[in-house]
Amino acid sequence: MAENTEQQPGKTIHAGGEWLEAVSGATREIIDPADALPFAVVAEGDEKDTDIAVAAARAAFDGGQGAWPRTPVTERAALLRRVADLLVRDREELGLLESRDAGKTVEEGRVDIDCVADAFRYFADLVAGEAPGRVVDAGTPDVHSVVVHEPVGVCALITPWNYPLLQASWKIAPALAAGNTFVVKPSEITPLTTVALIDLLVEAGLPAGVANIVTGPGHSVGARLAEHPDVDLVSFTGGLISGTKVAQAAAMTVKKVALELGGKNPNVVFADACASEEGFDTAVDQALNAAFIHSGQVCSAGARLIVEETVRERFVAELARRAEKIRLGRGTEDGVECGPLVSEQQRAKTESYVAAALAEGAVLRSGGKRPEPTATRPATGYFYEPTVLDQCHREMTVVREEVFGPVLTVETFRTEDEAVALANDTEYGLAGAVWTADAGRARRVAGRLRHGTVWINDFHPYLPQAEWGGFGKSGVGRELGPAGLAEYREAKHVYQNLAPRPVRWFAG
């Protein structure tokens, strides 16, 4: 793997085919959240670096007949497949880098890289298999009318820290497949795998200027991308507050905007799902996974357990018992099941939500504190115990707002209508699940949930070929699937008159 950050510390801005330092010369240390120690240095770009990268992307897009937007789709697809192969080649190193950067376990990092490769392959296959346009009937044989889909132009891609390369690939793969050029801005705290991906795109043969990256903060690099007059589309994944700012800035130049924002995702468990020992074990196991994988720093985390009252006590007791056994530690250590939070700020935010919940009457069933340090869990790392809060209700802040930490709240219901009402009682609408042995009820409840993804008797799986995105304040637009490609395209109607003659609307 071309290790740009190690070979050339601070040269992590890529514009027009060159690796550059920040114009200001500023750098940032990247911190390993397991011990709070720096392990890499990147360029700290700002508005000036952003303008350089956008100019490079613009030039590459507007270039001549052989430029990327006009490259035959079969060649674009072949390049994306080469990128997927390079990701597979570098899976171990990239998985490790993702683990150190974002604090996840190495196995989670590896799975992320597999999913990134899948996204590249999916969009390659999707565009390669498409018809080049849709012929429409103009009502006369003298007209040939066709609707084609063209690339939007220069895309600004802004991504978060929890799934750094995965979120970037859900934007980069369709943007490239559709023929766009782009400037990506990864989260300032987890940029390393996205920097590495740019090297792989270059190695796969992508022409200079098509793929550009500016490492740096949201308030300068991100904000400049969102407002930049030469950017045609901004696709943002992150929190509600930043997403709102991006949408406002983009509105001033009437850019296309796609927003993938937060979630407060319900996991609804009916008693009939727990009737057998096997069913009960599966529902508890998946509730743990829904809430605590990657320490709950997942946009679709099942952070709200909504369980039928008759099974609540048994369910919560078992959940809390198993939550306490989750092995916390440095993600690179064998046997560790869950890493630290990504930053001190994220842990402090989690602690304040738990304190507020307890003050509002929640009952602590597990966690609620920092763990004791061990050999695999340095005292300086940002660890926090998986926390189960019982006796919660919809008025509590912890139930309404996204914590983005290892905190599971428990609410109860008596009827199907009540379960649906609770599950939909959120300003978000990203994802949710229903657990039941009754197939009719499963379909009924799934049909009524106002969430972009609904799982029945499962939690978390997604498919590259199925759209991902949210209702309500979880966002605008979709990633993945055909709609995830359509975000990066403009429809163009080409109407060709085969027998032109005067229309004589005007007498003169």
Write out the residues near ligand NAD by the rule CB under 6 A. 158-163, 167, 185, 187-188, 217-219, 222-223, 226, 237-239, 242, 245-246, 260-263, 299, 402, 404, 430, 470, 474-475
**Which residue, 30 or 442, has its beta carbon nearer to ligand NAD?**
30
Are the C-beta atoms of 114 and 142 separated by less than 8 Å? no
Query: What is the spatial distance between Cα 14 and Cα 34, in angstroms, rounded to a whole number?
Result: 29
Contacts made by residues 271-278, CB under 8 angstroms, sequence distance 24+ = 271/308, 271/310, 271/311, 272/436, 272/437, 272/438, 272/441, 273/435, 273/436, 273/437, 273/457, 274/311, 274/314, 274/315, 275/437
Which of left, alpha, beta for 302 (phi over 0: left; psi -120 to 50: alpha)? Answer: beta
Estimate to the nearest angstrom the gap between the alpha carbon of 292 and the chain centroid.
Answer: 17
**Which residue, 111 or 148, has its beta carbon nearer to ligand NAD?**
111
b/e 302-334 (16+ beta carbons within 10 angstroms → b): bbbbbbbeebbeebbebbbebbeebebbbbbbe
The CB-of-181 to ligand NAD minimum distance in angstroms stands at 19
The CB-of-343 to ligand NAD minimum distance in angstroms stands at 9
Active site residue 75: no
Beta strand residue intervals within 98-138, DSSP E: 134-136
Which of 393, 399, 407, 445 shows the shortest CA–CA distance to 270? Answer: 445
Which of 247, 242, 275, 296 shows the shortest CA–CA distance to 406? Answer: 296
Which of 208, 241, 247 shows the shortest CA–CA distance to 15? Answer: 208
The CB-of-170 to ligand NAD minimum distance in angstroms stands at 8
Catalytic residue, chosen from 21, 44, 188, 260, is 260
The CB-of-349 to ligand NAD minimum distance in angstroms stands at 10
Query: What is the spatial distance between Cα 347 and Cα 119, in angstroms, rounded to a whole number?
Result: 31
Query: What is the spatial distance between Cα 1 and Cα 348, in angstroms, rounded to a whole number?
Result: 35
Are the C-beta atoms of 112 and 99 separated by less than 8 Å? no
**Which residue, 68 or 455, has its beta carbon nearer to ligand NAD?**
455
Which of 465, 412, 455 shows the shortest CA–CA distance to 431? Answer: 455
Residue 380 class from Cβ within 10 Å (0-12 exposed, 13-18 middle, 19+ buried)?
middle
**Which residue, 427 or 490, has its beta carbon nearer to ligand NAD?**
427
**Which residue, 46 or 188, has its beta carbon nearer to ligand NAD?**
188
Residue 156 tokens read as 């600004």
**Which residue, 103 or 179, has its beta carbon nearer to ligand NAD?**
103
Cα–Cα distances (Å) from 413 to 265, 268, 306, 418, in that order, read 16, 9, 7, 6
The CB-of-466 to ligand NAD minimum distance in angstroms stands at 13
Catalytic residue, chosen from 98, 108, 227, 299, is 299
The CB-of-194 to ligand NAD minimum distance in angstroms stands at 10
Are the C-beta atoms of 114 and 218 separated by less than 8 Å? no
Active site residue 479: no
The CB-of-435 to ligand NAD minimum distance in angstroms stands at 23
Are the C-beta atoms of 257 and 250 separated by less than 8 Å? yes
Query: What is the spatial distance between Cα 71 and Cα 121, in angstroms, rounded to a whole number?
Result: 18
The CB-of-96 to ligand NAD minimum distance in angstroms stands at 21
Secondary structure letter of residue 206 according to DSSP? P
**Which residue, 182 or 280, has its beta carbon nearer to ligand NAD?**
182
**Which residue, 248 or 497, has its beta carbon nearer to ligand NAD?**
248
The CB-of-351 to ligand NAD minimum distance in angstroms stands at 16
Query: What is the spatial distance between Cα 56 and Cα 336, in angstroms, rounded to a whole number?
Result: 43
**Which residue, 95 or 160, has its beta carbon nearer to ligand NAD?**
160
Give the catalytic positions in this structure.
260, 299
